[in-house]
A and B are shown apart, each in its own frame.
Chain A
């Protein structure tokens, strides 16, 4: 094994998303998930029947029921809904206990290696489902963590698995009622709850699903559109910096460098700017130049 440094300048368009939604029981997470595009719910929580907007669901009693989903199993579906993440991880834990008893302690809990296996099984499953072209919506109940004097709402998921879920999710949204009669889906992090907002979305009011039966499908599509737009912008930024690096590399005099410095805009909100300044400073050092603070330009170091 080793640390792999990878070049990610040519990211592929995002075709599938993993979205985690958490909130209080009864807030409407299951109904929300049924408004995703062609959903199939894996009902670990045995609560799909409570949703008035129920579509196809599979009552899952054991991890082996869903461990090896095939393209045929998923034909006609676009979104897999895991309801809930906590129960799904419990099912994997039970599966590990049955198939690899050495990874559990005498009290039935997973050992450290067992938790590693739990993580590996869950992530491998997630990866396989995505490779089959499915969006994944993961539902979780909420729980309050006490942090000093603060209470912070987080997904109710066991131990280290929560970390993996945070990392694997492209977006994490908290569903809550700020006031009577209004429900919000908020992907923004705050000092009161955790969130992950890959698409820069404002908090989204959750509508009556009878009037908006494709609500979550539309939210996911808008996320993909925004992420793909940002991916294009990221690619353009990387290319612009590489082009500048090449131009700077061909410069040979203090005058060349100073002309380039002068041409850079003073727009501090432009994230490319400090990178170009750094590249120019690096090239200036290579050429034996130093920064003259008083005159605000590079000059050759006096020998």
Chain B
């Protein structure tokens, strides 16, 4: 039987944050990788926001309210900013490869969209702590290295803790952050992937799957 490690483009960042959050235990970190049946409220809100923004971002316009299919409304009237349109919304990217240590991996992720040679990822956060978190991330590095896209744009939307009078989620600002492919990107990604593979071998046995029936190509 051939086993392959399943990796999401955001997995490596979990390890990165673990290094930087002093009070997080190893058990808490491992818990974050366990499949959960129910998304957290924050994750569910993020999903609604993405769904609402997908249609709006597909054409040039000024937007002050957007509504998700689940009925959640987002008030963007306080936002003073612009983002480029998204030419092709939401698609999956999947790559099969073998790491330098011999571990076969399947790396996958869902991007929010692309315009030409630029990938786009929307984030909804309750706290804006600056662009460094995003610049430091492996997520954009992996996407750019694996796909041939030239640049990666985060559109970080900041929401207020207080809902609006009409119950809408108040979005107060948008921070566009642009990251570019660079010459050392492959080495950085392989370092992160190898570290994650070692971590998964030790702590995440459920991430390895029988790959004998899968052909090694993008699906």
Interface size of B by CB at 8 A reads 61
Confirm or deny: B85 has a beta carbon within 8 angstroms of a beta carbon on chain A: yes
B75 to A: closest C-beta gap in Å: 10
B61 to A: closest C-beta gap in Å: 5
Confirm or deny: A263 has a beta carbon within 8 angstroms of a beta carbon on chain B: no
Chain A binder among B2-10, B169-177, B201-209: B169-177
Digitize B41-80: 1 where CB-to-A-CB distance is under 8 Å, 0 elsewhere.
0000000000000001101111110000000000011111
A172 to B: closest C-beta gap in Å: 9
Chain B binder among A67-75, A176-184, A195-203, A209-217: A195-203
Q: Is the pair A3, B87 in contact by a Cβ cutoff of 8 Å?
A: no
A44 to B: closest C-beta gap in Å: 23
Residues of A with C-beta under 8 A to B93: 274
Q: Is the pair A188, B183 in contact by a Cβ cutoff of 8 Å?
A: yes
Q: Is the pair B116, A1 in contact by a Cβ cutoff of 8 Å?
A: no
Q: Is the pair B81, A148 in contact by a Cβ cutoff of 8 Å?
A: no
Q: Is the pair A149, B19 in contact by a Cβ cutoff of 8 Å?
A: yes
For the complex, give the distance between the alpha carbons of A154 and B20 in Å: 16
Considering residues B82, B87, B90, B95, which has the most beta carbons from chain A within 10 angstroms of its beta carbon?
Answer: B87
CB < 8 Å: which of B62, B118, B218 contacts A234? B118
With A148-B22, A150-B19, A188-B183 known as contacts, the answer to whether A8 contacts B87 (CB < 8 A) is no
Q: Is the pair B116, A3 in contact by a Cβ cutoff of 8 Å?
A: no
For the complex, give the distance between the alpha carbons of A9 and B21 in Å: 41
Q: Is the pair B87, A1 in contact by a Cβ cutoff of 8 Å?
A: no
Confirm or deny: A64 has a beta carbon within 8 angstroms of a beta carbon on chain B: no
For the complex, give the distance between the alpha carbons of A152 and B80 in Å: 32
- Report, as a range, how many residues of chain A touch the other chain: 35 or more
With A3-B83, A191-B188 known as contacts, the answer to whether A148 contacts B135 (CB < 8 A) is no
Q: Is the pair A6, B88 in contact by a Cβ cutoff of 8 Å?
A: no
Confirm or deny: B35 has a beta carbon within 8 angstroms of a beta carbon on chain A: no
With A150-B20, A166-B135 known as contacts, the answer to whether A3 contacts B130 (CB < 8 A) is no
For the complex, give the distance between the alpha carbons of A148 and B136 in Å: 13
For the complex, give the distance between the alpha carbons of A266 and B94 in Å: 13
Chain B binder among A27-35, A85-93, A235-243, A253-261: A235-243
Q: Is the pair B84, A8 in contact by a Cβ cutoff of 8 Å?
A: yes
Q: Which of B161-182 contact A (CB under 8 A)?
A: 171, 174-182
Confirm or deny: B147 has a beta carbon within 8 angstroms of a beta carbon on chain A: yes
Confirm or deny: B148 has a beta carbon within 8 angstroms of a beta carbon on chain A: yes
Q: Is the pair A274, B83 in contact by a Cβ cutoff of 8 Å?
A: no
A38 to B: closest C-beta gap in Å: 27
Q: Is the pair B182, A2 in contact by a Cβ cutoff of 8 Å?
A: no
- Nearest A residue to B80 via CB reads A1
For the complex, give the distance between the alpha carbons of A7 and B117 in Å: 15
Residues of A with C-beta under 8 A to B136: 152, 189, 191, 194
Q: Is the pair B116, A268 in contact by a Cβ cutoff of 8 Å?
A: no
With A3-B63, A3-B174 known as contacts, the answer to whether A274 contacts B82 (CB < 8 A) is no
Q: Is the pair A2, B131 in contact by a Cβ cutoff of 8 Å?
A: no
- Nearest A residue to B176 via CB reads A167
With A147-B20, A166-B135, A278-B88 known as contacts, the answer to whether A2 contacts B176 (CB < 8 A) is no
| Beyond known contacts A3-B62, A5-B60: 18 more, CB 8 A cutoff | A1-B79, A3-B56, A3-B63, A3-B76, A5-B82, A7-B60, A148-B19, A167-B131, A190-B188, A191-B188, A194-B135, A197-B182, A197-B183, A202-B183, A230-B117, A268-B218, A269-B147, A274-B147
Instruction: Spell out A's residues near B (CB within 8 Å).
Output: 1-9, 147-150, 152, 154, 160, 162-163, 166-167, 187-191, 194-198, 200-202, 230, 233-235, 237-238, 241-242, 266, 268-271, 274-275, 277-279
25 residue pairs of the A-B complex, CB under 8 angstroms, read A1-B64, A1-B79, A2-B64, A3-B81, A4-B63, A6-B84, A148-B20, A150-B19, A152-B136, A167-B131, A188-B183, A196-B135, A196-B180, A202-B183, A233-B117, A233-B150, A237-B116, A238-B87, A268-B148, A274-B92, A274-B93, A274-B114, A275-B114, A278-B88, A278-B91
Q: Which 6 A-B pairs have CB atoms at the shortest separation, nearest pair first?
A: A148-B20, A237-B116, A4-B82, A269-B148, A238-B116, A197-B182
